[in-house]
Structures are given as structure tokens and as C-alpha cells.
Structure 1
Amino acid sequence: MSTSRIKRFNELFSGLEDCDVDEQKQMIEEMNEIIDEMNKKEFESVFTTRMFDKIYKMIEEKKMSLKDSLLLLKHMGYCNVLKNMWSSGFNDSEMRRRFEQMIFEEEKKKEEKNKGLLINLCECYIFQSCSFTPELLSICLSCILEAASKKEESEENQKEVEIALLALSRISQDFEMKQELYLKEITEIIKHQQKHRNLTKLANHSAWEFLINRFYTNKLLEDTVVNELHFSREAARELDVLTRNVDWKKKEEEMNKEEAKEEFTLVRWLQTIVVYFCLCHLRNEENVGLLKNIVQVHRAAKGDNHRGIRSQCVCSLRNAAENRNVKVEDLLKGGAVDAILERIRRRTLIDVIVYKCLQFFTIASNRLKEEDDDAKEKVKRKSSKMEIFEKLEEEGYEDIITSFYETLNIFNKRHYHTLLLKFSDYFVNV
């Protein structure tokens, strides 16, 4: 933890109430630069309930303008998501209750309503809070979607849209909301992006993440996501671009801000794809292309620096294998079987990735053992069995599985789900 960073941030924060408007803005800009450099421990040590209450007090006593406080809090919330950090200080603070009050008060105004202020309040609240009343969520959704729907392509506007969509993506999948509150607007945003490519990569992903997360409470979105918006095609495209943009030789601490953002966006796409394969059960021919690009990422993510990315890739492929509407021949065409075999050959016994690889082959094997009444499907299944069998035999798969015999129980003790101990459950019999 850098004590000098925290010390400087606290010095600036303490001096906010004793300076004029121009000085205060300059100090907040410097504080935002320090936030960009903070790690998780530093972030959590600074953004406490006490700090939020202090900001609230300064606003109430007219020692800090609301505009400047929003500048600080919005940037803090943006970095909160970008660095995958979290501070619970806001939830227990007086500021949270004051923000709720201001959002309701501003929303009730008619001709005098300050839309810019309301949008900023809603974005800050969504970034910082972990729970919302249905009425508050409805107001925030409407305001943030309006901000995210701006079509101007200036750099400043792109940044504002990115912040708005990133805030939307923070809304937990647990919150059930009527689709008339968001579906038309988010669909239009995604369609406009597909036509004009006006969003940043992070903004584009955030729009998709918000929509895919709604699957948890609304299964009726499948047709929109698969057939109207073509999620698999778009996700494959983004993975391809990001895979080429990421500098795979660099460690995280060696990356500049933009490089780190590219890799962060790639990881978020993989996490969203894991959810997609888990929850979307509509047949989709475009999944083959998506699988190919997941395999591309998996092969690019070499070395210890990218173990998390490889794990996400294998988890995506495992979930695809488990999805009844992703056919086994899709897994073959997409290169999933080859990729999993490559990974399992480079195993380490403490590696969670090996566990997921073994799950993949258990699932694929069980699916190929199922009976099918349709004659054409029987022929396809037999062909798939033969192709996988030949791959497994060529790669020495039986010897690999045998080598795990003494360690399967160890894997089972390390993970929540148990692996099968019978050898036959890992093999494709032709």
C-alpha cells in the first residue's frame, strides 16, 4: 500500500473546505488522478462511511459545491467498476439518504427539472449503492438510459455514454424490472452501435452486460438477444478485436491505462459469455463462431499473467457443452475439444482449470451416450463420436485420465462439485 498516495489524497480532501471554487476543482482533479493509481486496499481505506459523511456535511454547510462532489463521486464510481473494487461506505452514510431525497425531489419537478443534475445523481447512486427501491430504480433507469442514448460522436460525449452504460451494468441481476422500462432503449443503443460503431469497447460491452444480466429474471429476452441483436456474432467480433489489441507479453503492472482497459473489457466479455451459455437455451448457429473466438483467446492467454482469462475461457466452453442447444458437433467445429485437450495436457494438480476440463469431457461424453430417435441426428452423433474418439486417442487422453486416478479425490475436496471416479464416464465409446 502506498502511504504517500493515501497521505496526499487525505491532504487534498482535508483542504477542500478551506479553498475557493477554482482551487477546489483543481484539487478534485488531482484527487481523481490519485484514484486512478489506487489499488484495492488503498481504495477501501480511503472511501469509508466517514469520508462520505464528511462530503455530505461539506455540501450541507456550503463548503463544497454539489457539482464538485459529483465530479469526485462519479469518477470514484467509474474506477470502482474499472478496477473491480468495492467500498461499502456509501451504503451506511448520510450521503446515500440525501442522494435518494435529491433524486426524488428533482424528478418531481416539471419545467424546472435539471436533467443534467438528475443524471449525475442517478449515476453516482447506482455506482455506489448495492440496493434500490423499485421506484428509485425506475427513475435511475430512465435517466441513465437517456444519457446513454446520446448519438453525438465527440470524445467527450463518448466518455459520458461510457460512464452511463457502465453504471447500468452495475445493476445486479437479482433486481427484477419490467422490460418496458429498458428494452426499447437498450435495444436501440445496441442496434445503433452495430450500424455506426459509435460506442467505446467498454461502453458496448456494458450495454450487453446489462441486457444479458436480465436473463436471470426474464427468460423472454432470448429471442431479442439471439435473433434480433445477434449476441454470439457481436461477442465473437469483440473478442477477435480485443485479442489482437491486448499485449499478451505485458504483466498487469506494466500496462498503461488504455492497455489495462482493453484487457479488463476482454475479461468482462468472457464473464458475460459464461452467463449467456448458462442461461440462454435458444438454438443459435452463430455459436460456432463465438466458440472459435473463445478458443482464440484461450490460446493467446499464455503464461502465468493470464491464468484468470484461461479459466474464464474453459468455463465458457464447459457451459457451452452443458447447454443442450449447443450441439456436440458445434463444439467440434468451434475447436472447443482441441482447446480443452491442449489445456489438460499442460496440467498442474493445483489448477482449477484442470477440474473444469475434466467436467467438460464428462458432460460431452454423457451427451454423446444419449439416444436419439431422429435418423439424421443418429448419423451426426455417430460421426461426432468417431471424430472425438480419434482426437482423444491421438492425444493420449486415456493415459492422461489414468494419471488422474490418484488425484480425483483431491480435486473433489477442493471444489464444490464432485468429479466422477469411474474411468468410463470420461470416455467416448464408439
Structure 2
Amino acid sequence: MLKIGRALNVKKINYDNNIYNIAYIIIVFKAFYAYSDLIEPIRMQLVLNACSLMFALIMAYKMLFLQKYSEKKAIIFLLIGLLTLYTDRKTYMFMMLPNFFLIAATQEVDIKKTIRRMYRISTAIIGLHVIAYPVIYFFNRSSLHFAKRGVSENDKVRHQFLLSHPNIFSMLLLWTILGYIYVNYKKLDRKKIVGLWFIYVFFYMFTYSNSGLIILSAITMLLLLKKTLGNMVDGIVLFLARYLYSILGVFFIGMMVGFPKTQGISRVIWLAIDKFFTGRLKYGAYAYHVSGFTLFGKHIYFGPKELWEGFWVEGFACDNAYMWIAVSYGLFYFVLIAYLFWKYSKRAEFEEQIIFIAYALYTSMELYVTYMYFCFAVILVGKYLWEDYGKNRIVYRRKKANTMG
């Protein structure tokens, strides 16, 4: 009888994990289906819509029928879920609701195993594109898409390895490497850490995507310091994990609002910082000029080419996610993520804190952080959401099962 009870508990844990992982795989498949130039000739919107629907239904099933809540937590999750749905309707994006599901549906889920599965899938798909790319490059180059950094003939050609854009490829590669670091942290030595960095550097010579190189270099430095100095770096890492997202968010939102008021030396400094971020801040400031802040989300409309603050602006790509969240998705989400990092970083393991830091830095450079199924830092908070109710049922049930055995 005791063995039967133990088997049932383990079966329940495995079932919940599998349901979550199926939904996760579907949303990852959808993303690669949308990104891949290999799929482009046969890509259908129907498939993308079907993936979105299946993901939402599976996650809704898990949250409604497989999870248990206190009254307080049920009300909070219901309100946040409705807010994310409202935001997606206002912005015409299917973005915040999937992110909500990925974080809130983590009860009974072993997140480390999920991330292990995801980085392996990503590695396989990225590997397929990397292998196919030189073949197509030499035999059918005219079918490939390239990007260029700059406008002159001598500017660098950026390769995207059949994945929509060089920055898309670099984002996928960066967060696949970070997934490997997170899952295998305890097995990492200095050679492996440096080796992962060199893998990224090799592809950087083709993509010239600075954001990922900067983030991975910073994380590599922290990991090497940890291996060298041991616990002496823990305090610094904890501080950064808790506060870096908030500090950078306030800084960049302040720069966005203050740009039209700068003059003289302050404008020179502002533009120098903007140049380091390859013009991202200027576009964010323009978006604020056009639209202002939003609390829960709105669609932004841009007019024709305009001379603004001495610069011609026509269309834009506001890659600083702190700024874009403030003017498009809503300040609520900035405050919520900042709160989650602040509250749960103290409970997080060192490798999780490292991922929080990477996410905070990457948010200042790429809007891709809103694709949380790849940029998974906020999902890691999920396992701590359930410690306040049920004492993290994965651990609780396993302990109970072991006791019964």
C-alpha cells in the first residue's frame, strides 16, 4: 500500500511536468517555425495560430485542473492573467499571456529539467540551421537573406544562419548557452566556461551581434570570479540579481523622458550613451514623445518621417526593452518583474542569480527578452511562487513519497 501511494505521488509529479513541457515545446516549435528561413516557403499562418491555441488550452488546463491555490493566490493570478490578456488585445501581440502561463503554471514542475529539455531542442535546431547554411551559401546563395551594419559598401555583412535575422540567431545562441550554464553549473570548470564563451565569439564573427557578446562576457567574468574567489562574490551577485533590473529600468526610463530637456554637455553625454547602445535610446525617447507612458498596454501609431530633436525619424526599432515596456506593454510589467527579482533572488541559487543578471543586462539591449520561453530568467521565479503555499509541492510530495516508501 505504501509503495502504491509513493508510485501515485511520483506519477502525479511526472504528469504535471509532462503537461507543462508539452505546452513549452509547442510554443518553442512555433517560434522556430516563425523564424526559420528553411520553413519560409511553406510557412502558414494557420500553423502559427494552431500552436498558439494549443499552448493556451494546455496551460489553461494545467492551471485550472492540476494546480491548487490559496484564495489570495487564486485572486492574484486571475487578475494578472486578465491583465495580460487585456495587454495582448491592446498591443495586437500574443506575448504577455504566454509569459504569464509559463511563470504561473510551474506548480509541480521541475524547471531545471524543463530548461534542460529546451536547450537541447534549441541546440538541435540551431545545429541543423548552422549545418545547412554553408551548403546553401555555396550552392544557392541568391536565396539567402543578409543584413548589413551601416550603409556604405564597406560595412560588415551580417549572417543570420537561416534564422530570420542575425540578432535572432544570436539571441537563440546566447540563451541556449545560458540554459546549458544554468542546468550544468555544478559541473562547469574554467575550461568549459571559457569554451562556451569562445563558441559565441566564433559565431559573433559572422553575426556581429554585440548585445549577446557583452552579456555573455559579463556572465563569463562572474562565473570565473566565482570559481576563483568562491563565496566572496556571492554578496555582489545577490545584490545585482535583486536590484540591477530595477536600477537599469529607472535609469533608461529616466533617459527616455529626459532627452528633449538635455542641452550642452548633458546632451553630449546622452548621445554618447546612445551611441554605445547603437541608437536604441533615441528611438525609445521618440516613442515616448509620440505615445507617453502606459500602465497596462496600448498600440503605438507612428506617423510619416519626422524631424525630431535634430534627427530624422522614420519607423523605428526600440530594442531597449525597459523603454518599450514603459510605452507599449505597460509599466505594470516592469514593476512586476522588478518585484519578483527583488523578492525571490535571496532564495535563488547562484546559477539562478546569474541568469537574473543576464536578463537585466539583456533587457537594456534587446526586446527579445519578452520571448520568455527562450529568455527564461523570469520563469525560474516560478518555483519560488509556490513555496509560500504548499511548501513547494514538488519537494513536499517527493519527501512524502520517500517517507511512505
Q: Radius of gyration: which is bigger?
A: 1
Q: Which has the higher contact order (CA 8 A, sep 6+)?
A: 2
Instruction: Give TM-score, length-normalised by structure 2.
Output: 0.28
